[in-house]
Structure 1
Amino acid sequence: MSTLLNLGARALLANTAALQTIGHNISNANTAGYSVQSVVLATVAGQYTGSGYIGSGVEATTVKRSYSEFLTRQAALTQSIASMDQARSDKLSQLQDIFQAGDSGLGAAVNSLLNAFSDLTSAPTDLTARNVVLTRANELASMFQSAAAQIADTQSGVTQELQNSVSAINTLASQIAAVNEQIARVTGNGQTPNDLLDQRDQLINDLNQYVQTSTVPADDGTLSVFVGSQALVLGNTAAQMALVADGYGNPNAQLAVQRGSVSNVLDENALGGGSVAGLLKFQHSDLPEATNLLGRMALTITEEVNAQHHIGLTLDGTLGGDFFTPQALANGLAASANTGTASVSMSVADTSMLVASDYQVVMTGAASGSVVRKSDGQAFAFTAVPVQVDGLQFSVSAGAAAGDSFLVQPYANTASGMGTVFSSPRDLAVASTIEPQIGAANTGSMTVTALQAHAGGFVMPPVGGVALTFAAGPPLTYTLTGSTTPPSGFTGNYLSGQTITIDGWDLTLQGTPATGDTVTVQDARPASGGTGYYTLNAGNASALMGLRDKAVFDGSPLSDGYAGLIAQLGTRTQSAQYATTVSQTIAANTESSRAAISGVNLDEEAAKLIQFQQAYQASSKLIQVSQSIFDSLIQTLR
C-alpha cells in the first residue's frame, strides 16, 4: 500500500509543480524579458522484483526556461542599432525644422534684401526705398542670429540627453552587477535561477538601448559586459561611464569608461549602436555640417555685400563702408597635448572657394604640416605659411612643434555674429564710384549703355581717367590710356553691344564710333573732380542686386545658397529616416523570432493548465484509491 501511496504522492507533487509553473507563466505573460518556463518531468527508477521492475512513479527534476542565447543576443543588438538610428533621425528632424522653406525662410530673406536694391536703381535718392533696404538687412541678420541660437539650443538638448543617458547606463550597469552577484550565490546549488537570468537579460537589453554591448560568461554564472573594448561590468563590480572633453577642450564630446582613477575614452566608431552612439554621431557630424553651412552662408553674404558696398558712393558722395558687421574668424583650438606655443588664425581669401567644413591643422615642423578637411578627410600638405585651402588663409605663428595640432572651426560663430553696421539710409552706397564721359568732339554714333564696377580686382581710375580712343576699321579697334588691366596702350577690337572689362569694371557701348572718338571712365567723387554723376545713378545698387547670380556656394549662385543648405540637410534627414525604418523592421523581426521561442503563449498555457489539472486530479484519485484499499485491509484484519 505504501508503494501505491508513494506513486500518488510523487505524481501529485510533480503535477503541482507543473501547475505552479504554468501559473507563473500566465502571471508573467506581459512581463518584459520573461522567458516561458516548463517543468522537466522524469521517471523514478523502478524497483526490482522477481516479476520484473515495478515503476516508482514520476518526479520533477528541474524547471527550464525556453531560451535561445543567439536570438536573445541578436534581438538586443538589432534593437541597439534601431535605437541609434532613431535617436539620430529624431534630432535631424528637429534640425531640419530650424531651416524653413518658402517665404518665411532664410532664402527668401536673402532674395528680399538683394531685390530691395532694385527699387534704388530707379530712385537712388529715395530715402523710403533706402529704408526698405536697411529693414530687409536687419531682418536677414536677425534670421541668421535666430537660426544660430536654435542650433545652439539643439546642441544643449543633445548634451542634456547624453548626460541623462550616461546616468541611465551607470544605473543599469550597477543593477547588472547586483544581479550577477545573486546569480553567483545560487549557481552552486545545481539548479538554474531562471527568473534572475531573465532579469539580467532584460537589463542587458535595456542597456543596449543606450549603448551596444558584448558579454563574456564566467564559470560562476556571471556575465562581464563590455562596451567596445572596455569592461563596463566585471562580475559583481560596475565601472562608471562619463562624458569627457576631447583633445581640444570641447566639453561632453567623448564617452569614457572610468574605473577608479583610470579613464578610458571609447572610440565613437566602435560603439556600434545605441541612442548614445546616434546622439554622438549627430553632435559630431550632422550638427557641425548645419552650423558650417549656415555660417558659410552668413560669412559669404557679409564678405560679398561689404566688398561691393565699399566701392559705391553714399548720398553724401563718400565711399561706402561696411554694410554688415565684418566677421572675425575664430582662432584654431590647440590640442592639449601640444608642446609648442604657436597659434593658428584664419582669414577669407576667396568666398567662391569656401567649403562648409571644419579643419585640423597638423604640424610636422615649425612651418610645415598639413591641413585636413574634416568633412571628407582630404589632406593638403604645406611647407610654408600662410597657406590657402578652400578659400581660407591659414596663418601659423612662431613656436610650432612637430606633432602639434589645432582644430579649426571657421564658421562656428559667423551666423550668430551677423548684423548691420549703420542705421542711416544716407550711408547706403548705391551710386557708382565711376562715371563715363563721351568725348565732346566725337562724331560717331557711339553711346554708353552700361558701366558697372565689381568688387574684387576693382582699380579706381587715375586722375584724368581711363580713356578708350577708337579707330575706324575694319575692324573697329580701341586703344587704352591710364588702365592697369589690360595695361595702358593695349589695343582691342570693338563690337557694338559687347562688354569691355577693364580694371574690375564693365563698360558696354552701343553704336559705331568714328576715328578719334573717345570714352573716358573717371572717378565720380566730387572731391576728385567728378561731375556729381553719383547723385543721378544707381550703378552700385545694380551691382549689389547682381550678387544674387554670383557663383559662390560650391558653384551655385548666392541666391541658391539656402536651397543648397536645405537640400544637404534634407538628404541627411531622409537617409537617416530610411535607415531607421530598415533597422526597426529588422529589430521587430528578430524580436518576433525570439518571442516565438521565449514568449508566453496563453493558449498553450491554458491547454497545459487543463492537462495538468486532470493529471493532478488523477493523482489525487490514486491516493484516494490507496487510502480506500488500506482502510478495507484494516477492517478485514479486525
Structure 2
Amino acid sequence: MSLLNVGARALMANQIALQTTGHNIANVNTAGYSRQSVAFQTSAGQNLGNGYIGNGVDVANIVRNFSDLLNRQAAAATAVSSADSVRSQSLNQMQEVFTGGSNGLGSAINDMMNAFADVSSAPTDSSARQVVLTRMSELAARFRSASARLDELDYSTRQQMSSDVNVVNSLAQQVAALNGQISRAVATGQEPNDLLDQRDQLVRDINKYVQTSQVDAGDGSITLFVGGSQPLVLGQSSAKLSVQESTLYPGSGQMSLYFQQGGGQSVELTAGMVGGGEVAGLLQFQNQDLAEGRNLLGRMAIAIGDTLNAQNQQGLTLSGQKGGALFNIPLTTTGSTTGSQWAQPTTPTATVTDSSALKASDYQVVFGTDAPKGKVVRLSDGRTTAFNDLADLKSMNIDGLQFDLKNEGQPGQSVLFKPMASAAHDIQTMVHSGNDLAVANPVAAKIQSLGEATLRLANLQASKGFDASAFPAGTTLSFSANAAGGVDYTISPSPAGVPATGTYISGQPIELAPGLKVTLSGTPTINGAQSDSVSFGPNSFYGSDTGNASSFLALRDAVLFDGSTTLSDGFSTAMAQIGTRTQSAQYAAKLSDSIAKNLESDRTTVSGVNLDEEAAKLLQYQQSYQASAKMLQVAQGIFDSVIQAVGR
C-alpha cells in the first residue's frame, strides 16, 4: 500500500506540474502574466522502528516568479516615458505652426515690408498702395490661422486629458475590486497568482496615464497614491480624478488635475505634483509649451502691429491727413484671480508701454507678508521684480508692461496676467483704402545753399515718439567751422530732449527732436558767420513725398525683440525657440523610452514565459508522470501477487 500511495502522490504532483507548465504556455502572450513554477516538497516519512521510510512527494506551492522592485521600477519608468512621449508628439504638432517657407508667417512679414518699396518709388500709384493693403491682410490672416491652429491643439489636448482621466478612473475601480478578491483569497492562506498579475498589470496601465506610488496594506490589498499623498485606491474603494481649469486663476486657460474622494472637497494637483504619465505630459505642454507658443505668436503680433501703427500715425496720407492705426491689437489685458476686491470694475490690468521690450511670457503678481509688499514673477524664467506698494508697481515699466492692480492684495493672493496669449487671435487690418496709407513725412526739409549746392538730403525719418504738433515750424539746422578743422551744427530754436549742437559727419543721422532724424551727405559751405542751412516745416508735398515709406522699409532692420532681434528676423527666432524646445523633448522621450524598455526587459526576464524552457519542462514532467504511472502499475502487480498468495 505504501508504494501505491507514493505512486499516487507522484502522479498527482506531476500532473499539477504539467498543468502549471501548460498554463504558462497558454499565457505566453498575456499582458502582465508572471511565469508560475511548482514547488515540490518531500512528504513526511513514516517511522517503522528501524528507520523512516519515505512517503513520496507533495506540491508545497505554486510559485509566482515576480520581482516587486523591478515591477515598481518599470511602472515608474513607464510613467516618465509616457509623459515625455506625449509631450514630444504635441510639440511636433505645434512646431508645424512655426514653419518657414512661402506659406509661413516669416514670408508674409517680409512680403508686407517689401511692398512698401513700390510705394516709395511711386507714391501716387494706387495699385502699389493696394498691394501693401493686400500683404497686410495676408499677414493678419496668417496670424489668425496660426492662432486658430494653436487653439485646436489646446482643445485636442484637453480632450485627450479628459479621456485619459476617464480611463484612470475605470482602471482604479478595477484595482479596488481586485483588492477585495485578493484579500479574501489571501485569508485562506494561499496567494491567487493570476489575480495578482491582473492587478499589477492594471497598476502599470494606470502609470501610463498618471504616476502612482504603491503601499501594501498587509491583507493582500494595496493602496495607490497620486500626487504624492492622495489615495486613488484605498482598499476596496477608489477616488475620482478630473481635469479642469485652475481655480486659482479662472478664465486663464491654465489646467490642473483634481482629486476627489467620495463626496469630499476636490484637491488641485499641478503637473509637477502629478509627476509622470500622459496627463502630466499634456498638462506641461498645455500650461507651458503651448503657452510659450501663444506668447511668441502674440508678441510678434503686438510688436509688429504696434510698430507699424506708430509709423503710420507719424506720416501723412494722400489727402494730407495724419495716418491712423493699421492693425487692431490689444495693448491692455485683464488679470485672472479669485480675489473679490478685484472684481469688475476694478479688474487688474497690464498695458503694453513699449512693444519692443516685451518678453514672450506670462506674469504673476504675488503678495507677501513682509516688505516689500509683493513681487512680479516672469513665469518663463522665474525672474522677479519687487514692489513696495501699488503706486510703486504702477510706476514701473517691467518688460514693456505697466501693471495696474487698482486694489491691494492680501498675503498669499496672486494675479495672473497673459498679456500676449490672445493678441494674434482676432488681429485685423484697420485701413481699407490705399489713400489712407501715410507714406509722406509730416515734416519737410529745404536746403538753402550759399553757392553751388554740395549739401544733399539723404533721409528724413520720423519714428515712434515724434510729436509733429510740438515740433516748431521754421526749425533751422546751420553749420560752423570748429577749431579742429571740422564742422559743427546748431539746431535753432533749441529743441527739447536732444542736444542742440554737435559735430557734423556726412551720412550720420542728426536728431532734431525725439523720434525725428535727418541724414545729410556732402560738405556744407561755410562763409564766415554764414553757412548752408536746412529749414524744416510742415510738409505740403504729401502727394509726392515718400519719406515715411522709406521709414517703413527701415523697420525691417529695427530691433523689436529681446534687445537684439530685428523685425525681419523675429519669426526665425521664434522658430528656433520652438524647434529647440521640440528637439529637447524628443531627446528626453528617446532617453526615457530606452530606460523604460530596459527596465521592462529586466522585469520580463524574471516574470516572462520562455517557450523553450517550458517545452523542456513539459518533457521532464511528462517523463516523471509516465514513471509515476509505471510505479502504480508495479504496485498493482505486487498487490495482485500478495492477494493470490494469501488466497491459497
* Bucket of the pairwise TM-score, normalised by the shorter protein: over 0.9
Partner of 1:378: 383
Aligned mates of 2:498, 2:271 — CA distance in 1: 58
Partner of 1:306: 309
CA deviation string 1:52-74 (max 9, x = no partner): 21110011111011111111111
Q: For 1:442-591, what aligned pairs fall within 5 Å after superposition?
A: 445-460=454-469, 462=471, 464-473=473-482, 474-485=485-496, 490-503=500-513, 504-509=515-520, 510-515=522-527, 516-525=530-539, 530=540, 532=541, 534-554=542-562, 555-591=564-600
Aligned mates of 1:603, 1:337 — CA distance in 2: 71
Tell me the CA shift for residue 418 of structure 1.
1.2
Partner of 2:420: 411
Partner of 2:215: 216
Secondary structure of 1:467 counterpart: strand
The counterpart of 1:329, out of the listed 328, 332, 355, is 332
Contact 2:98 2:104 in 1 (8 A): yes
Aligned mates of 1:547, 1:244 — CA distance in 2: 43
Amino acid at match of 2:602: S
Tell me the CA shift for residue 569 of structure 1.
0.6
Aligned mates of 1:340, 1:105 — CA distance in 2: 40
- Residue identity (%): 46
Are 1:362 and 2:366 counterparts? yes
Amino acid at match of 1:422: V
Gaps of 5+ in 1: none
Are 1:240 and 2:251 counterparts? no
Tell me the CA shift for residue 257 of structure 1.
1.4
Distance 1:635 1:368, change over 3 A: closer
Tell me the CA shift for residue 356 of structure 1.
0.5
CA deviation string 1:104-136 (max 9, x = no partner): 210111111111111111111111111111111
Partner of 2:98: 99
Tell me the CA shift for residue 443 of structure 1.
5.6
**Greater CA drift, 388-397 or 250-259:** 250-259
CA deviation string 1:558-585 (max 9, x = no partner): 1111111111111111001000111111
Tell me the CA shift for residue 546 of structure 1.
1.0
The counterpart of 1:628, out of the listed 606, 618, 637, is 637
Secondary structure of 1:112 counterpart: helix
Are 1:142 and 2:135 counterparts? no
Q: What is the Cα-based RMSD across aligned positions, in Å?
A: 2.0
Aligned mates of 2:471, 2:594 — CA distance in 1: 73
Amino acid at match of 1:599: G
Gaps of 5+ in 2: none
Aligned mates of 1:45, 1:403 — CA distance in 2: 72
CA deviation string 1:218-252 (max 9, x = no partner): 12110011112111111111111112332111467
Q: For 1:125-204, what aligned pairs fall within 5 Å after superposition?
A: 125-204=124-203
Tell me the CA shift for residue 457 of structure 1.
3.9
Aligned mates of 1:287, 1:215 — CA distance in 2: 32
Aligned mates of 1:445, 1:328 — CA distance in 2: 46
Distance 1:472 1:189, change over 3 A: closer
Amino acid at match of 1:375: S
Contact 1:85 1:278 in 2 (8 A): yes
Secondary structure of 1:471 counterpart: strand
Aligned mates of 1:72, 1:431 — CA distance in 2: 74
Distance 1:602 1:367, change over 3 A: closer
Partner of 2:259: 257
Amino acid at match of 1:622: M
Partner of 1:24: 23
Tell me the CA shift for residue 485 of structure 1.
4.2
Aligned mates of 1:37, 1:303 — CA distance in 2: 71
Aligned mates of 1:75, 1:487 — CA distance in 2: 69
Distance 1:332 1:521, change over 3 A: farther
Aligned mates of 1:164, 1:264 — CA distance in 2: 20
CA deviation string 1:482-526 (max 9, x = no partner): 3524669x333223333212112222222332232343443444x
Distance 1:199 1:512, change over 3 A: same
CA deviation string 1:190-240 (max 9, x = no partner): 111100111110000001001111111112110011112111111111111
**Greater CA drift, 506-515 or 399-408:** 399-408
Contact 2:372 2:386 in 1 (8 A): no
Contact 1:334 1:343 in 2 (8 A): no
Distance 1:264 1:381, change over 3 A: same
Number of residue pairs the alignment of both structures matches? 630
Tell me the CA shift for residue 465 of structure 1.
2.3
Amino acid at match of 1:3: S
Contact 2:313 2:438 in 1 (8 A): yes
Tell me the CA shift for residue 397 of structure 1.
1.5
Amino acid at match of 2:315: G
Aligned mates of 1:306, 1:406 — CA distance in 2: 30
**Greater CA drift, 448-457 or 40-49:** 448-457
Contact 2:314 2:466 in 1 (8 A): no
Tell me the CA shift for residue 327 of structure 1.
2.1
Contact 1:84 1:277 in 2 (8 A): yes
CA deviation string 1:418-455 (max 9, x = no partner): 11102111111111121111226556632222222222
CA deviation string 1:309-334 (max 9, x = no partner): 10111111111111111424321112
Q: For 1:12-161, what aligned pairs fall within 5 Å after superposition?
A: 12-161=11-160
Secondary structure of 1:334 counterpart: coil
**Greater CA drift, 258-267 or 511-520:** 511-520
Contact 2:526 2:532 in 1 (8 A): no
Distance 1:364 1:220, change over 3 A: closer
Amino acid at match of 1:480: I
Tell me the CA shift for residue 344 of structure 1.
1.4
CA deviation string 1:246-294 (max 9, x = no partner): 2111467111210122222224313221111101111111010000000
Amino acid at match of 1:249: P
Contact 2:302 2:331 in 1 (8 A): no
Tell me the CA shift for residue 606 of structure 1.
0.3
TM-score, length-normalised on structure 1?
Answer: 0.95
**Greater CA drift, 503-512 or 131-140:** 503-512
Amino acid at match of 1:506: K
Contact 2:38 2:59 in 1 (8 A): yes
CA deviation string 1:34-84 (max 9, x = no partner): 000011111111111244211100111110111111111111111111011
Distance 1:269 1:337, change over 3 A: farther
**Greater CA drift, 545-554 or 362-371:** 362-371
Amino acid at match of 2:241: M
Contact 2:335 2:348 in 1 (8 A): yes
Contact 1:43 1:59 in 2 (8 A): yes
Aligned mates of 1:605, 1:385 — CA distance in 2: 75
Contact 1:107 1:563 in 2 (8 A): yes
Are 1:434 and 2:443 counterparts? yes
Partner of 2:397: 388
